[in-house]
Amino acid sequence: MGGFCFRIFGYVEGNNSSLVKSVYKTIQKTFPTAYVFPTESRPSNVQNIMIVSSNQPL
């Protein structure tokens, strides 16, 4: 089982979320199971975002 954990600083939603969405889509090409863990309750806030992914569901 392979896995990957990635931290990125950005936006989950909104006009400025293209970087985070691109990283998520790229990770999913290698690891079909991916989870996004934002650190703020408002997705439109800039924040630390953890993306955890693996070959199989966790």
d(CA 53, CA 8): 14
**Structural domain for 7, as ranges:** 3-54
Per-run averaged pLDDT (10 residues), the chain, 58 residues = 91 94 93 94 94 90
- pLDDT for 2: 86
- pLDDT for 56: 87
- pLDDT for 57: 85
Number of domains the chain is built from:
1
| Pair 2, 25: CB distance under 8 Å | no
| Pair 37, 52: CB distance under 8 Å | yes
| Pair 25, 19: CB distance under 8 Å | no
Q: Whole-prediction pTM value?
A: 0.83
d(CA 39, CA 58): 20
